[in-house]
Structures are given as structure tokens and as C-alpha cells.
Amino acid sequence: MKQAQLFCLGLFLLQTQLAAAGSVAIVWDPQANFQYEGSLKPTEILELCGKLSAATTIDWSFNASQALVSSVYFRQGDTPKNLAQFPSRERLSYHINLSAAQEYCWKWINTNPKPAQIKVNLTRVSK
């Protein structure tokens, strides 16, 4: 019984660490949309990540209560490769064409001394 309790405690601690890291899995709705709304503490990083197929276009936008640094990247081995990087801004609308089937991440960093509210919209565009 104690072994099962320790296992459950370990899973809880792992989930808590992942939530604190600000990593969210992208889960598309039936209309090929994903929306996220939340807040970032000062110095906190938010990452929205998901596997996408090759030759996919994503229209995406965000609105934040304060300017946030943002980027879109994928990993090549352990090395992140930026597809697009944007200086601090409160809002952005952009589209990106993805050429390879792999996991992609959208990332925001709060460099402000106060928490920031953020709303994100991603849409897979049909071709």
C-alpha cells in the first residue's frame, strides 16, 4: 500500500512541476482551433506545444495585458530552433507555414515586474 501511495505522490509532484513550468499541450477542437487564456507571473514562461503534420499553416494571435516576448520553435534533438521571434508586444496576429511533421511550440516570456494576462488563438488552416 505504501508503494502505491508513494507512486501517486510522485505523479502529483511531477504534474505540479510541469504546471509550474507553464507547458500546455495543444488540443485542437473539431473546428481546428485551440484557445488558451491565463496569466504569467513575472519571469514566467508559457509554452503551448503540439505535434503537427507537414505542410500545415497555422494562423495565430495573442492579446496580453502587458508586452511579452514571443517565439515559435521546434526541437532538433535537444536544441530548440526558432522559426519566428518577436520583440516585446501586447498583441500580435501572424501565420506560419510548417514544413515538417514534428512538435512545434509557441512561447511567451513575461519580462515585466507584474503578472500579465494572455489570450491565445491558434487555427489550423485548410489548404
State pLDDT tens for residues 74-113.
988 888 899 999 999 999 999 999 989 999 999 999 999 9
What pLDDT is attached to residue 4? 45
Segments of the chain assigned E as strands: 23-25, 33-40, 45-52, 56-76, 79-98, 102-109, 116-125
pLDDT exceeds 90 at position 50 = yes
- pLDDT for 77 equals 82
* Residues in CB range of 112: below 8 A, 6 or more apart: 42, 66, 67, 68
If you average pLDDT over residues 45-57, what whole number do you get? Answer: 94
The answer to whether 98 and 55 have CB atoms below 8 angstroms apart is yes
Map out the domains of the chain with their CATH numbers: 23-125 (2.60.120.680)
Terminal Cα-to-Cα distance of the chain (whole angstroms):
54
pLDDT digits (tens, 9 = 90+) for 28-39: 999 999 999 999
pLDDT of residue 127: 62
Q: Which of 29, 17, 48, 26 is nearest to 118 (CA)?
A: 48
Rounded-to-integer distance, Cα 66 and Cα 90, Å: 5
> Which residues are within 8 A (CB) of 25 and not within 5 positions of it... i.e. 6 or more apart?
48, 49, 50
pTM of the predicted structure, to 2 decimals: 0.80
